[in-house]
Amino acid sequence: MADPAGPLLKRLALPVYVPSMLSAAGGQALMPMLPLIAIQLGYSPAASALLISIIGLMAIVGPIPLGVMMERTGERPAMILAAVLVIASSLAGIAILDAGPSAATRSLLVLLLVVDGIAGEVWDLGRQTYLGAELPHHLRGRAMNFFGGMMRVGGVVGPSLGAGAYAIAGFQGSYALRIVLMATAAAMVLVFLVPSSGRRAVPTTAVTGTKGGLYGHVVRAILIVGVGLTGLIIARLNVSVLLPLVGQHIGLNPRDISLVFALGMALEIVLFLPAGVLLDRWGRAVMGGLCCLGLGVGFVLIALVDSLGAIVWGAVAWYVIARLVISFGNSLGSGIVKTLSVDLTPAFRRAAHMGLYNSITGAGVLLGPAVVAAVTAAAGVLVAAAATGGLTLAGGAWLFAVLPRYAPGWHGRQPDYQPDPILAERVPEES
């Protein structure tokens, strides 16, 4: 029997999925280089790490006003503008590297990171809003999961290409690669992304009962679900923050740590497609709970690497197994954050509601590294891993308890929650 999601995924490949992979590859080709670029321009290592948090800050303050803006411009013009900003920022990055360290170039780097953060939020919000109007309810999990999976592929391809670009032309080569990939993604959006067939005009009566132009019950739902998602997002961020520190703690060199990361990412890529099918069949609560369970247990195992790990299999083997448990859990939730953004937001002013959703979930982007820094300073990196595991398990329990009220459940059971009480969501028909 043919997969009913097949025609939909093919139709979205050129306007959404391939550009998403290209933009993710471009961003990830540069991201590992940014702290080193900051150091080359004269920042201290501590200051260079702090600079990267600017992008996380934009994930909190940017989405709400950007969502309002996108309602006026539409997704495609906003995404093209974001791509132009990324390309201009990358060209400016090449220029400040050529100019060398100075107070002016250091200040300009801060400005470029702000621009990058804003452009990234516009690009993400445009894709989410477009998919929100295009996806049938019963295929949202698979379609959004594939969206997340393509970004994971970009996250693997980008650093590999970035390493080659750096070998050829240094940091300027990394910026140049980003320009090429982002320009290609923007060209595909310009050519293939057409106005959504699922969007229709909303009568003025739809604004009745709203606060500040947003539905109050939708805002409450986003806040309630966002509490649990914060634990999930903290865990995902801390995979990149904590695991290298623990690897160094047990004596692994950077090359070996990278190999363990690559092994974990390969497992996630293999499993993301089956996870998307289960997201639609088993529901958001089950998959969100299982995802947090896997991540939380994995971090607890990481915390035990010096004690049980050293006794049972040896610290290195324990570390590798814990990393694979984390990857398995993370793969079960592939696409769930983006899928819930569609489940919880109404057709009316979807971009503005999604902007609020992205701001709430963006809090985890800043909280993850903050938790690691605070707990590590007070009690060490292994205790920070245990704290991350505890927060993630608590977040999973919260999601398992509240999601049945707000998102599709077991075998597509629909919740009582209706994001738009005025207009029923249009479900596009697949030919």
- The pLDDT assigned to 96 comes to 95
- The pLDDT assigned to 412 comes to 63
- The pLDDT assigned to 422 comes to 52
- The pLDDT assigned to 426 comes to 39
CA-to-CA distance for 351 and 72, rounded, in angstroms? 10
| pTM, full prediction | 0.79
- The pLDDT assigned to 212 comes to 54
User: Chunked in runs of 10, what are the mean pLDDT values of the chain (431 residues)?
Assistant: 71 91 89 82 76 76 83 86 94 94 92 90 86 80 84 83 87 93 95 66 44 75 92 88 85 81 85 85 92 96 86 85 95 89 84 86 78 81 92 95 85 71 43 34
